[in-house]
Amino acid sequence: MEITYFAIIIGAIFVNNVVLAQFLGICPFLGVSSKVETSMGMGAAVTFVMALTAVVAWPLQQLLVAWGIEYMQTIVFILVIAALVQMVEIILKKMSPSLYQALGIFLPLITTNCAVLGVAILMIQKEFTLLQSVAYSVATALGFALALVLFAGIRERLDFEEVPEAFRGVPVALVSAGILAMAFMGFSGLV
């Protein structure tokens, strides 16, 4: 049975959300999600990097298999992701200095964002074609961005609420993330 692009996209964004269902990319999810504007910038940067990673990693995997060195996959993918993030950082510094400043230390975190590496490995494990891999990577990144922006909106709203002293800051953020993850569980069985 062939997997449809609709199933790949809906599944990656809602059903198997990389942050809320697979728990990949938790560091930037908790670290960058204090403001919606910064979250949208981070989501866009991750989307760009994940799309490029899919385009580069899929053919590299084919070469690794052809040469019989597929055990080098993780190391090769880490190097590719690091190079792509450096390229994004240079482009953002030239094209949008304000976004570059807003992201600050979090932009280099994309290099160590396990969601990017996880998606590159998952697309190979699922045996997607190149186009399916790109669709999966972009949809997963959009799911990451959606979760990030939703969570940032919740955190911004919590700043105006009276939260008990013991729950202020990280505790209420973690409880909110858990509730958001349970809300996304409602999509299970959709595709």
Residues of the chain with pLDDT under 50: none
Query: For residue range 52-79, what is the model confidence (pLDDT) as tens digits?
Result: 899 999 999 999 999 999 999 999 999 9
- What the block records as the tokens of 32 is 């960058």
What does pLDDT average to over the chain?
89
Cβ atoms of 34 and 161 closer than 8 Å? no
pLDDT of the residue at 104: 65
* DSSP assignment letter at 33: T
Whole-angstrom distance, CA of residue 166 vs CA of residue 158: 14
Nearest to 5 by CA among 136, 116, 98: 136
Q: How high is the pLDDT of residue 7?
A: 93
Nearest to 119, CA basis, from 132, 103, 105, 106: 132
In contact, 116 and 110? CB cutoff 8 Å: yes
As to burial, measured by CB atoms within 10 angstroms (0-12 exposed, 13-18 middle, 19+ buried), residue 50 is buried
Q: Which of 139, 143, 161 is nearest to 151 (CA)?
A: 143
Q: Residue 178: count other Cβ atoms within 10 Å of its Cβ.
A: 11
User: So what's the pLDDT on residue 106?
Assistant: 65
In the prediction, which pLDDT does 30 show?
A: 84
pLDDT at position 63, please? 96
Q: How far apart are CA 40 and CA 152, in angstroms?
A: 9
CA 68 to chain centre: 30
Angle between helices 36-67 and 73-95 (to 10 degrees): 140
Residue that has been written with the tokens 């399916």 in this structure: 132
* pLDDT at site 27: 81
pLDDT value for 103: 65
